[in-house]
């Protein structure tokens, strides 16, 4: 989902209308959330900086003569060999410098995100989606028919998390069309249209499994929540 655009007021209205239409045919309750990112990935930046620091040590171990030759240039060759304490000090200083350079470079979030493995991003997005679901939808409907559609923009990933009644009745693979619709529109720079298309497909599945009953009431907000 490259180039995920920000959502506009029209996007919010489009998703709101889609949720209202979808819920008109089902007892299911659809919650939509879009967030900038699901994690700050400070640990990933720290790991990269530590790895760069260790690379400096590894290079020094592979070719210590290069450091000795460089240091001998400052003494114009008068010393037979540099003091080992000086060698250690130079290596430690180089490690500290490389660590700080990498750590500050990764304060730039696009670069940090590019270095985070996709599997890590997927786990963090899934974890945050579940957290939001537990707060905003889980067990908040009488029939346990809440479902969350979650889009994390910076990771360019989405998740669907369903309440227990839906989870028991609908196999996970059935949400594939909804996710495909969301991905296709979002890649085209239309995240609002993508969310609305996914909501439409989710609503169709819920209408089959949990059709509208006479005593159903709207228990969760229809509006798009942007965090």
pLDDT at 74 over 80: no
Q: Is residue 2 part of a domain?
A: no
* Residues 15 and 32 both lie in one domain: yes
pLDDT tens string 80-122: 556 667 777 778 888 899 999 999 999 999 999 999 999 999 9
The whole-number pLDDT of residue 71 equals 61
Report the mean per-residue pLDDT for the chain.
Answer: 86
Cα 44 to Cα 155: distance, rounded to the nearest angstrom: 14
Q: Are 127 and 38 in contact (CB under 8 A)?
A: yes
Model's pTM, two decimal places?
A: 0.80
Domain that holds residue 92: 42-114
Tell me what pLDDT residue 145 has: 87
Residues 97 and 69 in one domain: yes
Q: Does residue 80 sit within a domain?
A: yes
User: Number of structural domains, the chain?
Assistant: 2
Residues 193 and 222 grouped into a single domain: yes
16 and 103, same domain (yes or no): no
In a domain, 1, yes or no: no
CATH number assigned to the domain comprising residue 13: 3.10.310.50
- Please tell me which residue, 63 or 8, carries the higher pLDDT value: 8
137 occurs within a structural domain? yes
pLDDT of residue 156: 87
What is the per-residue burial (b if ≥16 Cβ within 10 Å, else e) of 77-88? eeeeebeeeebe
Query: Is residue 38 a contact partner of residue 152, using CB atoms and an 8 Å limit?
Result: yes
65/109 Cα distance (integer angstroms): 38
pLDDT the model gives residue 80:
58
Provide the sign of the torsion angle of the four alpha carbons 94, 114, 126, 13, taken in this order: positive
Determine the pLDDT at residue 159: 93
pLDDT exceeds 60 at position 31: yes
Cα 206 to Cα 165: distance, rounded to the nearest angstrom = 11
The pLDDT, as a whole number, for residue 76 is 52
Q: Domain check: are 18 and 122 in the same one?
A: yes
194, 157 Cβ separation under 8 angstroms: no
Where is pLDDT greater, at 4 or 133?
133
Q: How far apart are CA 115 and CA 176, in angstroms?
A: 28
């Amino acid at each position: 989902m490259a180039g995920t655009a920000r959502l506009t007021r029209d996007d919010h209205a489009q998703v709101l209308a889609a949720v209202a239409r979808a819920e008109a045919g089902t007892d299911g309750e659809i919650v939509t959330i879009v967030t900038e990112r699901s994690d700050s990935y400070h640990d990933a930046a720290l790991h990269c900086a530590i790895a760069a620091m260790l690379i400096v040590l590894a290079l020094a171990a592979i070719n210590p003569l290069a450091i000795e030759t460089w240091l001998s240039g400052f003494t114009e060759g008068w010393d037979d060999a540099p003091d080992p304490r000086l060698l250690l000090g130079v290596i430690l200083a180089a490690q500290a410098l490389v660590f700080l350079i990498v750590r500050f470079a990764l304060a730039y979030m696009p670069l940090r995100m590019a270095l985070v493995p996709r599997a890590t991003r997927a786990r963090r997005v899934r974890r945050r989606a579940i957290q939001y679901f537990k707060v905003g939808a889980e067990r908040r409907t009488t029939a346990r028919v809440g479902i969350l559609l979650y889009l994390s923009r910076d990771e360019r990933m989405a998740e669907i998390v369903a309440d227990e009644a839906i989870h028991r009745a609908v196999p996970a693979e059935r949400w594939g069309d909804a996710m495909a619709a969301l991905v296709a529109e979002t890649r085209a720079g239309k995240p609002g249209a993508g969310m609305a298309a996914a909501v439409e497909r989710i609503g169709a599945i819920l209408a089959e499994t949990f059709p509208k009953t006479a005593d159903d009431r709207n228990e969760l907000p229809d509006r798009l929540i942007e965090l």
